[in-house]
Structure formats: structure tokens, C-alpha cells
Structure 1
Amino acid sequence: MTHGERSTDDSGTHIARVYNALLGGKDNYESDRAIADEFTAVAPEFTALAWDNRQFLMRASRFLAGEAGISQFLDFGACLPVGDSTHEVVQRLNRNASVVYIGMDPLVLAHGRALLADNDMTHIVDVNWLAPQNVLNDAAVCKYIDFEQPVAFCHVGTLMHVPDEYDPWDIMRELIDASAPGSYFAFAHLLDPGPGHELAELAARVQDVYLNSPMASGWFRPIDRITEMLPGLDLVEPGVVPLADWWPDGPRLKPVAPVQRLLVGAVGRKP
């Protein structure tokens, strides 16, 4: 299959390919598109939420490579390409910035390696990031990332797919503890607005799609549990907010849809 061709192989689903389908990409299967359709049936603006996730990562990357002066990036949960990618945004500002994508999906890894073959400063590595030490001690990662110097860690829309038993709080804590002072963390997660909130029913319906799909992952967590994933970090203003509200690129011409308020994020700096 050449890049850009739409696959019709109905061989299971994966969140990276469902995400690609929601963004209007071509690198997904019929089964992935069926799940994407389930999300938009529950919330027609769910594609806007997917784009919020993508665009937040791009804005955060631009801030980190530019204003914050970070030259090393670890992007967890590598996605299939749709529009700009982290390395393109970062390397426009600093051509010598090193970007390593951490992925586990075979299709993502195959595409990434093909697309990055001619970019000496960008690499994709197959590492099980659920155990941070796998990443911190991986020979390929350490070849391109110097953990003694500040690093931008991008965990955008990843840990919401990690169940409690894998302790996503400890995953973040280990990375923060191992990072050099001056490192930054870009982070996004699905928000449980709490019982009785006007968005509670919508959140429950979207989570049902996640958990009852073949992916069986996608957890909404309360705001206090989300902020607990960022221990010891100084949060860049405006703190933890819906992604559409984190330093948007321009004035908003239409209101944010209710479902877009259910994906929040922040950028934090290790003192």
C-alpha cells in the first residue's frame, strides 16, 4: 500500500488509525472508520475534538522550540501523518532540533520509518512506553536524546488510554523525576466533569464508545486526578484548560462545541 492510499483491510482497530480517520486521513481501515463513525454519532463535533488534540500539540511544539528554546523532543504515542507533524513544526524553528517519536503500532512505525528515512534529526522508535525505564534506557532513544539536558516530553492524548492498573500517574512521575531541570511536558487528557455536570452524560456516552469498541480504552478522569499527573511542574499560563483555549492561534469565530470541553491539557516546566 502506498502512502495516501485508503486501506480496505478490515483487520482490527487501533487508536492511532481511528484518530487518523477522525482527522480525515487515508491511513486507516474500514474497522477504524466504523469506530470513528460511532464517535461522531454520539457527538457530531468529535472530529473537532480530534483536531484540538492535534493542533494543541503543534502550538505547544512551536512554543517549546521557539520561546522555550528546547532542542530535544520525545513525542509519545506517534500518530499517522495528517498535516504538520511535531518534527516539522520544531525544525522550522530549529533545524538542528532532535525529535524522537515513540510508537508501538506496526502501521505507524512502518509509515514513520519510510517518511523519516531522509531526516537525520528525526527518528521513530518501537518502545513500550508504559514502562518509562524502557524509554529512558533504550539505546536508540539515548543515541538522539541527552537526558542530562532539557527535553520536551509530549504525552498528548496518550495516558487517557492507559487504565488505572498501569498507573499513568507513576508513568508521568518517573519521567518527571528522570528529566533535567528546565524540561517541559506537554500533556492532554479526557476530562470527567463530575456527577450532575451538564456534560456528564455526554462524557459517559463517549467513554462507552471507547470502552465497548475493540480498542477497549479511553478513560475520562476528574480534574484533580489529571493535575496529579503533573507533579512538581510549573504550569505555563493558562494552566489546565480545554485544548481549544490553550493559546489559540487567533480569535474564535464560532463557539466551542460541548464535546471539545471534555479534552483538557497543559504545558508544564520542571524547575
Structure 2
Amino acid sequence: MPRFESPKFMKRAGGAYTEPTPIESDKASIARVYSYYLGGKDHFEIDRDMANYAESVVPGVTDLALGNRAFVQRATRYLAAERGIEQFLDIGSGLPTDGNVHEIAHESVPDAHVAYVDNDPIVLAHGRALLENNRTTLVLQNDLTRPEEVLTEAERLGLLDLQRPVAVMLGGILHHLSDAEDPGGIARRLRDAVVSGSCLAVSHFCEPDSAQFPDEADRARRLQAAFQERLKAGLWRTAERIQSYFGDWNLVEPGLVPLNRWRPLPPDAKSLGSYTMPPRNAKLIVGGVAVKP
């Protein structure tokens, strides 16, 4: 497949970018809470309070963040190395950490194009600094609830070519949309906008079957209450509901499964993505990757 030219955009502030909105430090941010769980340093006291409160309600919330990060890394490596995907759209990317999507993708596709999207202005600020000299990767300040706008902007800047396959990464983001925000409809609109051969990776908080797994189901209920109380976001949905976000696309093996079971690396592997969640919360988050026929 012929590669396309690097995008014609400026990397420094004041170029093609929109100036970031003021950072809100008086309420917890999903991106900053996630950064705290991953061991990052870009967070405020209110974010740490939220993270520690959830951890006190159900010990092991950090497991979910680390497990999600490892899944995204393994999925990215699979998509680049095994499926040859050269374009990635990572929505709800969060703050930069080691093992970002562009770093994993570039292991096997050195000139893969990656568009990161997040609605937190601090993500944009840090992303600019991190990617100043990177000619194939860009951070956009936008929102998952405006998928057409996200795609149009990424294409306008020359980063994505929507006539060629794209990997859409929705790692740990759809569960922060309410039912009223229609996560299923948003996933469908993204699926409809890309061509055959494109891929969709989703990880999502999962509500275990209470008859089969009563303890895990109770943990999910308590965590959801904590997230809703402090973040006003975070919903644990059933596996059936989550699978519907893939529509009629073909799920690759092993399907939609707890994250530990999605193409795990050997226990002694040292590569990014090798983290394994402890059993206590392993059923509370699932993930999968699908291909558009």
C-alpha cells in the first residue's frame, strides 16, 4: 500500500492549532485522574482526591487504569504489526505517558500517522510539547461527542486520509459517556465514516453477571457510585451492550473479553503491554478489536 505524504501543518502554538481553553483546576478531570493512576505527574489535588476516594471504595482501581493502558498498547501493536494499519485515531487519549500509541505504532510502521483527540486543555498543552518535532503525530482538542468534526479536522490537517483504512482507538472513553450522550450512536457514526479494512478497538468498564459473579458485580456497583459522585462520569455496562458498539464488524480473536485475556504477552515479557491485572478486578473491564468488512 503506497504511503502518503506527511501532513502540512505547523507544530508550534499559533499555527494550525486552536488556542487551548483555560485549565479547570477546581473540578476533577478524567484525563488527570487517569494520569495519577498511571504514575504520571500532571494532576491537581482535586484529581488525587477523586482517585484516592475511588481506591478506598474498591481497592484496585489502579489495576483498571494499568490494564486498560496495556490493552491499548497490545491492540496498537497488533493493528500496526499484524494488520499493517498506517493511520490511528486515538480519541480520549489522555495525558502523554510512556508507551503512547504513536510510539507503539512506530515500532513496526515508522511513518504511521496518529491523531490524538482529547477535550482537556492540559492534554493539548503537554501534547504540543511532546510532539513538537514529530511530523506524523498531532494532538487535537476536541470531543468524542462530535465525531464528524473530529474526523474533518484530522483530514483537513492532512493527518488522516479517510479513503484508506484507519484504526479508531476508543480506549476507556465510551464508559464516560452517559446513555443520553448515545455512545452507541457515536460509535456507529465513527464506523460509518471509515472504509473497509478499518479497525475499531474498544475497552470499557463491564458490569459482571450478578448471578454468576455476585462479588464482582457488587464491586462494579460501588465503583460506579464513586465515579458518578465525584466525576459525574463512569458507567459499567453489560458485555452485550459493549459488543453492540462494534456493530456488524468482525471481531478478531479472542473477541470481546476481560482485558487480561486479549492477546496477552508471556509473563516474563518486558515489552510495553505486558502488564496483567490482579484477579480482584479483572472482570470489571473488557476489550476487543473489530475489522470493517
**TM-score between both structures, scaled by the size of structure 1:** 0.92
Query: What is the CA deviation profile of residues 177-197 of structure 1, one whole-angstrom value per residue up to 9, with x for unaligned ones?
Result: 111100011101111124443
Determine the C-alpha separation between the residues in 1 that align with 2:167 and 2:189: 15
CA offset at residue 254 of structure 1? 8.1
2:224: which partner in 1?
207
Residue 291 of structure 2 is aligned to residue 269 of structure 1: yes
The one-letter code sitting in structure 2 at the alignment partner of 1:20 is S
Extract unaligned runs of 5+ from structure 2. Answer: 1-23, 269-274
Q: Report Cα offsets for 1:217-262 as digits up to 9, x if no partner.
A: 0011111111111101111111011111111111389883222211
Residue-by-residue CA offset, 1:152-177 (whole Å, 9 max, x unaligned): 00001000000011110010111111
Using CA pairs under 8 Å that are at least 6 residues apart, name the structure with larger relative contact order, 1 or 2: 2
Q: Give the structure 2 partner of residue 4 of structure 1.
A: none
Structure 2 match to 1:147: 162
**Counterpart among 18, 39, 44 of residue 24 in structure 1:** 39
Code of the residue aligned with 1:240 in structure 2: it is L
The yes-or-no answer on 1:250 pairing with 2:274 is no
Q: 1:185-264 alignment to 2 at 5 Å?
A: 185-196=200-211, 197-198=213-214, 199-213=216-230, 215-251=231-267, 256-264=278-286
Q: Is the 8 A contact 1:136 1:142 kept in 2?
A: no
Deviation string 1:4-33 (CA, Å, 9 cap, x unpaired) is xxxxx9532100000011111111111111
In structure 2, relative to structure 1, the CA distance for the partners of 1:139 and 1:181 (3 Å cut) is: closer
Cα shift readout 1:14-64 (whole Å, capped 9, x = no counterpart)? 000000111111111111111111121122222121100001000100111
Distance 2:54 2:281 in 1: 11
Moved more, 195-204 or 16-25: 195-204
1:130 and 2:152 correspond: no
After superposition, the C-alpha distances for 1:57-90 in whole angstroms (9 at most, x for unaligned) are 0010011111000000000002112221000111
* Deviation of 1:92 (Å): 1.9
Deviates more, 1:127-136 or 1:86-95: 127-136
Which secondary structure does the structure 1 equivalent of 2:228 belong to? Answer: helix
| CA RMSD after TM alignment | 1.8
Q: What letter matches 1:84 in structure 2?
A: G
Q: Are the aligned partners of 2:63 and 2:277 in contact in 1 as well (CA < 8 Å)?
A: no
1:62-211 to 2 correspondence within 5 Å? 62-138=77-153, 143-196=158-211, 197-198=213-214, 199-211=216-228
Runs of 4+ in 1 over 4 A off after TM superposition: 139-142, 252-255
**Equivalence for 1:6:** none
> What is the TM-score normalised by the length of structure 2?
0.85
- Residue-by-residue CA offset, 1:106-146 (whole Å, 9 max, x unaligned): 11111001110100100011122212211222266551100
